[in-house]
Structure 1
């Protein structure tokens, strides 16, 4: 992964914002012209695959949350959650689940707090996931999440915005060490595996956005699962992670996804 600055960029409507770009791809309305321009540039580079990819990634999130809930996990920590959209984690997890959404972006924070204010058992924390000790000690996190019981920690489309210089493996390790056995880690990450040339072009677009992006190799992404046992079918494309499905598409995408369980 290329080296980028490690501090989050605090930007306004004149700089492309990664959360608003994602919102645009999902058909949302919380985005500005500069977000749409950069988002459309990536649509062009990917020949439209990014649109299907982000929607499949969202569908993977839903399936992974349901799988964790089916295994008895009732607590979810969604790191780098982005703007609230359809089928949010607390909606998928069902009644009685406790969910904390986390994002450092003040735009996300203002929208999320307004939308989630009346949701029981749900909280939002404006914090940087790259500071696990501070985040795990946050009063809202401590109020809603009991770390003596299994928790699902979600790193969905977020770690490729964490530079190598920040030590992403060590960051994930701190969250892992806070979890008890039976906890889940849900991860999706852009990979250099299938479309290296297009990924390089996409990285250049993100250089001007609110956070630079860097894809990683399959081996590097697998490394994040140290201390977890990957659930079948392992680290795969988003269409392939579909437990119980008879048929899965073998269409290739830039992202890899997986779910691990701590034992």
Structure 2
């Protein structure tokens, strides 16, 4: 049982230290507290501390050097696709810049996958996509159900495109972002009807095997749906950098 207990403790330490690095409490170039200090703060052994430091190094946040301690590395080397790092970035990003970047990355990848899907989609996937669109239309009065089925619609397109790497990247970053109220928020009044119309245009383009239209409508939907939500998350005002 001890290794699993140590693993859980290590995860807790890593989460706390990641939070402090991302928030700036531990600045770039600064040394982390020493092993004895971390042991005392978290009530853990040196073995757990060392395992935690290794995990932080794997995430690109720190570098441990004999005789110099463990320094925080520049942000350029951080693994932003790591779920712990990404979650902390979203939580501490007051200007929502990381979410703006996430939306741009998602739009670029999903546009490509929508276009590819329109080129290669087969009869069975066409039928499934058409059914999902019809079902999505029945959910516009149930925001929670609609948002869940919205995700299914997008994932059906990505899967049908055959771009497994693109699907994996979007699924990873989008799944983590959806857990944050800073990304989702409550849909503005009437937004689900607008969203449904956007999905219907995407679906129609794919079912008509029109890759250019599919890409155009997908990008417009992803970018504009974020623009509708973004100001609402901050009392109607877009945050300044």
TM-score for both structures, normalised by structure 1: 0.21
User: Between Structure 1 and Structure 2, which shows a larger proportion of helix residues?
Assistant: 2
User: Between Structure 1 and Structure 2, which shows a larger proportion of strand residues?
Assistant: 1
Larger Rg: 2
